[in-house]
Amino acid sequence: MALKTFKPYTKSTRGTVVLDKSNLWKGAPYKPLTKGQNFTGGRNNNGRITSRHIGGGSKHKYRVVDFFRKKHNIIGTVDRIEYDPNRTAYIALVTYTDKEKSYIICPNGLKVGDKIESGKNVDIKVGNSLQLKEIPPGTLLHNVELIPGNGGKLARSAGSSITLSGYDGDYAILKLSSGETRKVSSSCAATIGSVSNADQKNIKIGKAGRNRWRGKRPQTRGVAMNPVDHPHGGGEGKTSGGRSPVSPWGQSAKGLKTRRPKRSDKLILTRRKKRNK
């Protein structure tokens, strides 16, 4: 998909870069595979705001996406490719030979009319799903399971993919886009190809109103506040806070560490790379 820019008739159109969705389905989603969504506005069951900067936004329905791909050895045909407001990737509506329909994460290169399949002895072709032990090393994958039969968990966002590096006994070695290398049971299923909509990272919102459509409310910087309102507040002129970034309540901006050693730690061969900010 290409990107779309605008002539700078206004301040917002000068910086706006959006996706060209002219090749996507123009109509409504397939109704039997949708359900309603409740939006909290950041409030808990007492009506108190527990997550700031959330509220408003356009109403939309949730599309039920099949991350399991359990219709084994039944050929499906791609009916259409749709935009999904709940995720960065596009989704594809598939009709199987038994007339059942389902949404799947759309891989890059999948087109309307293409045939896809999942199960054993399936061709190594974009959109097909099979166990890791049946896939040759060096293949790009997405929607990879962590536990056999539990549904795809890894590499589901736009443009993401995982490289199958090789095998170690009953485990497959995967290299994630974060730089992490880990082992996963070779009985886990994965889908061939990378996820569609790789240009999503190049979007420029352009104006505050587009964030309001997405349910994001304005956020005031701590350094623009007074000391009574935020630990970064106060000072003469424009100061940067004079301390490590923290929340309004003094908690580190990196967040409170809640992770405890997990059973899967032994399967992580190399940790993900830290990003320099």
Six token digits for residue 114: 């293409």
**Section 62-83 average pLDDT:** 96
Confidence check: pLDDT of 254 > 90: no
Burial of 48 per CB tally in 10 Å (0-12, 13-18, 19+): exposed
Q: In the Cβ-directed half-sphere of 186, how many Cα atoms lie within 13 Å?
A: 15
pLDDT in tens, 229-243: 999 999 998 888 888
Radius of gyration over every alpha carbon of the chain, rounded to an integer in angstroms: 22
pTM of the prediction? 0.89
Q: What stretch of H or E contains 167?
A: strand 162-168
Lowest mean pLDDT among 65-79, 166-180, 244-258: 244-258
- Asked if residues 204 and 16 have their Cβ atoms less than 8 Å apart, the reply is yes
Residue with tokens 């994001």: 216
pLDDT in tens, 74-91: 999 999 999 999 999 999
Confidence check: pLDDT of 213 > 80: yes
Which domains occur in the chain, in start order?
Answer: 3-200 (2.40.50.140), 220-277 (4.10.950.10)
Q: Which pLDDT value is given to residue 140? A: 96
